[in-house]
C-alpha cells in the first residue's frame, strides 16, 4: 500500500465514508456531514497511527482539508 | 496481581509521594510504567530503574514541565516510540500554595493554574489521542478534597482542583465514545511532601477532623487509582472518588 493510499484509507475509515470519494481534494472540515469535530479527532488518530506520527496541536487545528492533511503529513517526512 | 499485564501507563509527578505510590501499584499490577517529573532528573531515573528491577516491567523516566506544550508533546512521542501504545494516564503532577484571600498574588494564581489545570489538560489531550488509536484507555486525574469542599486559606489551590473536577466530567463525556474512561480521585489529608511543612499542632488538628482517625498514606490513594484503571471499573467514567478517611472540613 502506498502512503497516498494509506492517507486516503484513513480518511475513508475515520470519517465513515460509504465509499472513497471521486475527488479527495474537495474534502474539507465541516464541508461534509461526516467530517465533524468528533470525526476530526478520529481522523487525526487514524493518520497518526497510519504513519506512526504525533501531530502538534497546531497541526490538528490546522488540518482543515484533505490538502492540508497531505501537507502536514508531508511535513513530517512522509513522501506522498 | 497482573491485571495490567501488557498495558502501559504514564504517571506524571511519578517520582515521589502519591505519584510514586501509584507507579509502584501499577507496576505491581503488571503495567509498563513511565514516570514523569521535573525537579530531580537523576532521582527520577533511579526510580524508573527501581521499578523495573523490583517488578520486572519496562519503565521510562520522562523529564519535563507538565505545563509546557513542547515538553508534553515530546513525552508522548517518547512513549509512542518506545511502546506503541498508552493505556493509562494518571494526571498526578501538581503543586500546592496556601494563602489567605488578601495574600494571594496574581503570580501564585498563574503558577497553580499552569501546573494543576493547564498541565492536566495538556496531558489529557495528548494521552487521549494515543488512546483513541486503540479505542480504549483509562485516565485518572488527581484532584483534592479541597477542590470538592474548599478550605480556608486555599482559594487559589481549591479553585485549581475544582477545575480538575470540571475537566474530568467534560472529558469523560467527550471521550466515552472512543472507549476512554476519565475519572478523578480526591485525596484528603495524605502524608506527602505537600503537608510535611505543617507543624505538629496543625497536624493534630487535621487528624482530629478525620473520621478514621489517622492521616492517609500514598498507598491509600494508589489503591483507588489502581482500581479505577482496572477492568473492575470498566463501567465507571466521570466519577470523583474521595479518599479522605471521612474527613470533615
Q: What is the pLDDT of residues B177-194, one digit of tens each?
A: 999 999 999 999 999 987
Residue A64 belongs to some domain of the structure: yes
B32 has which bridge partners? B8
* Beta-carbon separation of A52 and B80 below 8 A: yes
Cβ partners under 8 Å of residue B159, min gap 6: B112, B113
* Beta-carbon separation of B80 and A44 below 8 A: no
The alpha carbon of residue A56 is apart from the nearest alpha carbon of chain B, in Å, by 7
* Alpha carbons B87 and B240: distance in angstroms, whole number: 20
Q: What is the pLDDT of residues A20-74, one digit of tens each?
A: 999 999 999 999 999 998 899 889 989 998 998 888 888 999 999 999 999 999 9
Residue A71 belongs to some domain of the structure: yes
Is the per-residue pLDDT at B227 higher than 90?
yes
Residue A80 belongs to some domain of the structure: no
Is the per-residue pLDDT at B206 higher than 60?
yes
Range of the domain at A17: 3-75
Is the per-residue pLDDT at B1 higher than 60?
no
The dihedral through the CA atoms of A1, A71, B84, B4 has a sign that is negative
Residue A29 belongs to some domain of the structure: yes
Q: Scanning the structure block, which residue is given the C-alpha cell 487535621?
A: B206
> What is the number of structural domains in chain A?
1
Q: Which residues 106-135 of B are in CB contact (within 8 Å) with A?
A: 125-126, 128-130, 132-133
- Average pLDDT along chain B: 95
* Alpha carbons B26 and B23: distance in angstroms, whole number: 5
Beta strands in chain B (DSSP E): 8-11, 32-37, 59-63, 88-91, 137-142, 180-187, 240-243
* Beta-carbon separation of B129 and A52 below 8 A: no
Cβ partners under 8 Å of residue B139, min gap 6: B88, B89, B90, B91, B124, B127, B128, B131, B171, B175, B180, B181, B182, B183
Q: What is the pLDDT of residues B17-71, one digit of tens each?
A: 999 999 999 999 999 999 999 999 999 999 999 999 999 999 999 999 999 999 9
Per-residue confidence (pLDDT) for residue A57, from 0 to 100: 87
In this structure, which CATH number among 3.30.1050.10, 3.30.499.10, 3.40.50.720, 3.90.870.40 belongs to the domain B8-239? Answer: 3.40.50.720
Per-residue confidence (pLDDT) for residue A38, from 0 to 100: 86
Per-residue confidence (pLDDT) for residue B2, from 0 to 100: 66
Is the pTM higher than 0.95? The answer reads no
- Residue B77 touches chain A, beta carbons under 8 Å: yes
Is the per-residue pLDDT at B196 higher than 90?
no
- Residue B76 touches chain A, beta carbons under 8 Å: yes
CATH code (residue A19): 1.10.1200.10
Cβ partners under 8 Å of residue A34, min gap 6: A15, A16, A17
Amino acid at each position: 500500500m502506498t502512503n497516498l493510499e494509506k492517507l486516503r484509507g484513513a480518511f475513508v475509515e475515520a470519517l465513515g465514508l460509504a465509499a472513497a470519494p471521486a475527488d479527495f481534494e474537495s474534502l474539507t472540515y465541516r464541508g461534509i456531514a461526516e467530517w465533524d469535530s468528533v470525526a476530526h479527532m478520529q481522523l487525526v488518530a487514524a493518520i497518526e497511527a497510519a504513519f506512526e506520527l504525533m501531530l502538534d496541536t497546531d497541526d490538528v487545528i490546522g488540518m482543515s482539508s484533505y490538502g492540508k492533511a497531505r501537507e502536514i503529513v508531508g511535513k513530517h517526512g512522509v513522501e506522498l | 496481581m497482573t491485571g495490567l499485564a501488557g498495558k502501559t501507563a504514564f504517571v506524571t509527578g511519578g517520582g515521589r509521594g502519591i505519584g510514586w505510590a501509584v507507579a509502584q501499584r501499577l507496576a505491581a499490577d503488571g503495567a509498563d510504567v513511565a514516570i514523569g517529573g521535573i525537579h530531580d532528573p537523576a532521582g527520577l531515573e533511579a526510580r524508573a530503574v527501581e521499578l523495573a528491577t523490583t517488578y520486572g516491567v519496562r519503565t521510562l523516566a520522562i523529564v519535563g514541565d507538565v505545563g509546557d506544550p513542547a515538553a508534553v508533546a515530546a513525552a508522548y512521542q517518547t512513549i509512542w516510540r518506545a511502546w506503541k501504545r498508552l493505556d493509562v494516564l494518571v494526571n498526578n503532577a501538581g503543586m500546592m500554595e496556601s494563602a489567605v484571600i488578601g495574600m494571594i498574588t496574581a503570580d501564585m494564581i498563574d503558577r497553580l493554574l499552569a501546573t494543576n489545570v493547564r498541565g492536566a489538560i495538556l496531558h489529557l489531550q495528548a494521552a487521549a489521542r494515543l488512546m483513541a488509536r486503540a479505542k480504549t484507555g483509562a485516565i485518572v486525574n488527581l484532584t483534592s478534597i479541597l477542590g470538592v469542599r474548599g478550605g480556608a486559606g486555599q482559594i487559589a489551590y481549591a479553585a485549581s482542583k475544582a477545575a480538575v473536577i470540571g475537566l474530568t466530567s467534560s472529558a469523560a463525556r467527550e471521550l466515552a465514545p472512543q472507549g476512554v474512561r476519565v475519572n478523578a480521585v480526591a485525596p484528603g489529608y495524605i502524608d506527602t511532601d505537600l503537608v510535611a511543612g505543617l507543624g505538629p499542632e496543625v497536624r493534630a488538628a487535621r487528624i482530629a477532623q478525620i473520621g478514621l482517625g489517622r492521616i492517609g498514606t500514598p498507598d491509600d490513594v494508589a489503591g483507588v487509582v489502581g482500581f479505577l484503571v482496572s477492568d473492575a471499573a470498566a463501567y465507571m467514567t466521570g466519577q470523583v472518588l474521595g479518599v479522605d478517611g471521612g474527613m470533615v472540613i
